[in-house]
Structure formats: C-alpha cells, structure tokens
Structure 1
Amino acid sequence: MTSLFAQDQDGPYYLSLKREMLYTGSGLVGTVGASMLQQRLPSITASEVKQPNLSGFDQMGLGNYSQKARNFSNQTLFSTLSLPALFLVGKKSRRDISTIALLYFETMLINQGITDLVKMTALRPRPYIFEESFPSTTVLNSNDRSSFFSGHTSGAATASFFTARVFADYYPDSKLKPYVWGMAAALPALTGYLRIRAGRHYPSDVLVGYLVGGAVGYLIPTLHKKKPKGKSLSIAPSMGGVYLNYRF
C-alpha cells in the first residue's frame, strides 16, 4: 500500500495519503449518511403518495413498463462498470494498475455517496407507482421512492467518463481517443434511456444522473494529475521592482 503513494511514479497521477483519505472518507460519509436516512423513513402506501407536478419533459416517463428494458439496463451498467479492466491490456496503464484501481474505487464511492444522499433526501416516487395496475395498498419501500436521480445512469456515466479520462491521460496521442470518448458518452445515455423505458425513472432523473456521474468520473482523475514539468514563469519582488524568472 505504501508504494501507491511513492513520489516518483512515472504515470500521470499523483497520490497522497491525506488526499486519498479525504476523498474516500467523503464517499463513505455520503453512503453511511444515506443509509441512516433510509432506516428512518416511515412506511407509507401507494395511495398516500401524490403524483408530482411534471413538466412536459418528464411526462414521457409515465406509461412505461418493460422488464426487458430493465434487465438490459442492468447489463449495460455492469458492462460499463467493468471498462477500467481494459487498462490491463495497455503496457503503460498496466504498470500503474494499482493506482488506477485506487482512483476508480474513490471515484465510484464518491458518486455513490452523492447519489444515495440525493435519493434519500428527494424521495421522489418512481413512475410505475402511478400506473393503474399498481396496487394502491402496496407498502412502499425506500427503493420505490428513489427515482431522483438515476443511480444506474450516474454509475454508468462515472465509470465511462473515468475510463475515457484515464485513457486520454495515459495515451494522449492515441488515435482511439475520439472513439473512447464517444463510447463514454453513449453507454450511460443508453442506460438512462432503458431506465425510462423500464418505468423506473423520469427523463430529468436520467439527465441529472448523467451530468453528476460524468462530472465525478472526469474530475477525480483530473484532480490527481501531476503538475507539468519544464517551462515555468515565476514572479518575485526585488529591490529594483519585480523579478521575473522563466525556466525552460
């Protein structure tokens, strides 16, 4: 474990024990806090839930129910979550696989904490609750009221954009970069669409999940990037005014 925080790593990322503990801890706080909120939720039946006022955009989330789409969304999510395993193929990334694995763990944990906290705070009922075929006497659990925002979409977006960001950092000159970024954008979008078709989410749930997950997946590796070496400009006061130093 100590080797993960060595200062002379050749890869593009810099790890520090203090920062990694902070990031990991924030993700744990989010997931644990959401779990505590979940345990305190009172039990209610479907008949006690009022249908929210929906925009025309979110109206598209009503009237959908497809078990096939739900199963397919699970498959696309799990496939996307496994994308970072492809870094075992490339020589540069394989050499730093322990660093990439730690970053991936942190990234997914932070996204999970944010997603769970928002779900347990918003308590938005899922669209299928308002279908005529759904029994009004059904006692709802926390999952029935966790529509906002889509965890499948945010998880897929986090994994895919993390993969694309890390790939670009390890292989900046690769001709595959446009395809990797295209895949990063398409896979969570497909997952989100399937979640709407399955009757599990409104379009706004998917859109927010996509944006949050994509931001987390992109930013965590970016925040760990080493500062570039080489040319630098420094400014310092001197007796005669200002001293400029440019280093090649």
Structure 2
Amino acid sequence: MIKYFSSLLIAGTIMLAPVPAAMAQQASSSPYRTRFAVDAPITLGLGAVGGLGLYLVQQKNGLSDAGLAALSKNDVPKFDRFVAGNYSDRAQTVGDFLTYGSLVVAPGMLALNENARGHYGQILGLYLQTMATTAAAFTMTVGTVTRYRPFLYGTEGGGDRNSKISTNSFFAGHTAHTATAAFFAAKVFHDFNPDSPAEPFVWGAAALVSAAVAYSRMEAGKHFLSDNIVGYAVGATAGIVVPQLHKTAGRRGLSFIPIQGLNVNGYSYGGLLITKQL
C-alpha cells in the first residue's frame, strides 16, 4: 500500500513541473465560475446535512454480547464473505495514514501548480464544497443504515465490538473521502492544464491511492468489498462532478428544439425539447 502512496507523490512531482509558456498562457484564467452568494449557502447547507447525519449516528446502538454471539458468516452475502472476520490494527493505521494524508496532500499539490496557484482561493472553496458533498452523503447513510463491520464476525476488536460505530460498515467513509480528494485534485489539474502529458500519471495515482485505502479497510475488518465499491464510486463522482458543475467553458445555456412525431400507438405529438450542456 505504501507503493500506491508513492505513486501519488510521483504524480505530484510531475504536476509541479514547469509547463510550456503557451500552455501556461492558455490556462491563465480560471476554468471555473463560483459565486459566494450561491456557493457559500450550498456549502453551509451540505455541512448542516452532514451534522444531521452525525447526530443520527450518535443515536444508534451497538450489539449486545448475545447479539454478537448470534452473528454468522453465512449470513453475509457470498460476494463479501471473504472479508468477514478480518481484523488488523496495522492495516487500520496504514489506511488512516493514507486517508488523512490525501486530504492534505491532494489540495496542497494544486497550490504548487503554476496554472492553478493564482486561483487557489477559488479552488479551496470548491474543495470544501466537494468534501462537504461526500461528508453529507456518508454521514446520512451510516446514520440511517445499520450494517455490522466485518471484524464482528471474528473474535478480535475488544470494546469496539459493542460500540455504536461497529454498525457503520455501509458505506466506506475512508475510501469515499480519499477518492473525493484524489479525484478532485486530478480533475482540477486536468481543467487547469489541458493536454498535459502528466495526466495519465495524475489520474492513475488518484485511482491507485483510493484503491489502496479500500484494501486497507478490508484488511482492517472495517468494511466489506461492497462497502468500499460504493464508497469509491461516491467519492470519485463527487470529486469530478462538483468541479465540472462549475465549469465555464462549453456552457452554452439553454437550447430549444421543436420536436414532433408519432408515438407507439400511432398518435402524433409535438413539443419543445429543452437541453442545457453542463
């Protein structure tokens, strides 16, 4: 897993390398449009949803000793069963290191990129909104869904076995937040540095470090494979879609196209097709 983290650092070094003058001039203006009056309330609203999710998590109850004794690996879907009973403090430490490190390293790399540095305040605002999106989705899900962590199907874990957080297996928060940070950095780098030869390394590092966290969470017995797949998908989607929604290039507003034809029952219809390019 450390080699995956090293891949991210190598990609970061490539990101920081000087870009050709023509490319720098092309990316001198920001590809994003943000407005404080719009984005600040959205970010605060997402934060409020995340706070509600945390409150719901606190209302959950852990399993009693009798409930723990009644758990059986055979009740776990076959797709996930190979993870049931896993437990590793070392894997948890590695996963924590990769996750918390990525939350700082990913936006930090963008601060050192020549094209993005002049718009770093805007990038930080977008990053906060993107992370708040994932946090809201994650906390509301674990606050309303009860799924027992894989380590409960074994014998290790000590006092954590009866804690309320042992019911928070779905979905994988570490994986989701890592993927959000990593894919956000890759997406922003792409938008500020179009056609950069470093792009395959940047996107590859984002994918690998997120997968490394997912693997560590399974080894630690914190999440099943399906939990990590959902977490990965949620995080990567947020990391890419939120910046994309703020893109200025190629947004042509609304287009109106008259349409008419016959439906399957032979009746004619007419109307107006309204589209908006994101």
**Structure 1 length normalisation: TM-score?**
0.83
Compare 36-45 and 168-177 and name the one that shifted more: 36-45
The residue identity in structure 1 corresponding to 2:151 is Y
Query: Does residue 137 of structure 2 align to residue 114 of structure 1?
Result: yes
Match of 1:96 in 2: 119
Q: Give the unaligned 5+ runs of structure 1.
A: 1-8, 238-248
Compare 120-129 and 139-148 and name the one that shifted more: 139-148
* Counterpart contact for 1:46–1:129, Cα < 8 Å: no
Q: CA deviation at 1:65?
A: 1.4
Which segments of structure 1 move beyond 6 Å, counting only runs of 4 or more? 231-237
Q: CA deviation at 1:130?
A: 1.9
Compare 12-21 and 193-202 and name the one that shifted more: 12-21
Query: Does residue 80 of structure 2 align to residue 61 of structure 1?
Result: no
* Counterpart contact for 2:95–2:213, Cα < 8 Å: yes
The residue identity in structure 1 corresponding to 2:34 is L
| Identity percentage of aligned residues | 30
Q: CA deviation at 1:25?
A: 3.0
**Structure 2 CA distance for partners of 1:59 and 1:35, relative to 1, 3 Å:** same
Compare 138-147 and 75-84 and name the one that shifted more: 138-147
The residue identity in structure 2 corresponding to 1:12 is P
Q: CA deviation at 1:228?
A: 3.2
Match of 1:141 in 2: 163
* Counterpart contact for 1:30–1:113, Cα < 8 Å: yes
Indicate which of 218, 222, 238 corresponds to 2:240. Answer: 218
* Counterpart contact for 1:13–1:226, Cα < 8 Å: yes
Alignment of 1:42-61 (within 5 A): 42=61, 44-49=63-68, 51=71, 53-61=75-83
Match of 1:167 in 2: 189
Query: Does residue 96 of structure 2 align to residue 77 of structure 1?
Result: no
In the alignment, the residues of structure 2 paired with residue 196 and residue 233 of structure 1 have an alpha-carbon distance, to the nearest angstrom, of 46
Q: CA deviation at 1:22?
A: 4.2
In the alignment, the residues of structure 1 paired with residue 118 and residue 229 of structure 2 have an alpha-carbon distance, to the nearest angstrom, of 36
Indicate which of 181, 205, 208 corresponds to 1:186. Answer: 208
Q: CA deviation at 1:79?
A: 2.3
Indicate which of 25, 39, 58 corresponds to 2:44. Answer: 25
**Structure 2 CA distance for partners of 1:191 and 1:155, relative to 1, 3 Å:** same
Cα-to-partner distance string for 1:104-163 (whole Å, 9 max, x where unaligned):
01111110111011011112111111213456x977222111111111000110001101
In the alignment, the residues of structure 1 paired with residue 160 and residue 255 of structure 2 have an alpha-carbon distance, to the nearest angstrom, of 67
**Structure 2 CA distance for partners of 1:103 and 1:203, relative to 1, 3 Å:** same
**Structure 2 CA distance for partners of 1:144 and 1:110, relative to 1, 3 Å:** same
**Structure 2 CA distance for partners of 1:178 and 1:40, relative to 1, 3 Å:** same
The residue identity in structure 1 corresponding to 2:227 is D
**Structure 2 CA distance for partners of 1:234 and 1:132, relative to 1, 3 Å:** closer
In the alignment, the residues of structure 1 paired with residue 256 and residue 51 of structure 2 have an alpha-carbon distance, to the nearest angstrom, of 46
**Structure 2 length normalisation: TM-score?**
0.74
* Counterpart contact for 1:30–1:110, Cα < 8 Å: no
Q: Give the unaligned 5+ runs of structure 2.
A: 1-27, 259-278
RMSD value over aligned CA atoms? 2.6
* Counterpart contact for 1:45–1:138, Cα < 8 Å: no
In the alignment, the residues of structure 1 paired with residue 246 and residue 115 of structure 2 have an alpha-carbon distance, to the nearest angstrom, of 17
Number of equivalenced pairs: 227
The residue identity in structure 2 corresponding to 1:120 is G
Query: Does residue 31 of structure 2 align to residue 12 of structure 1?
Result: yes
Q: CA deviation at 1:182?
A: 0.5
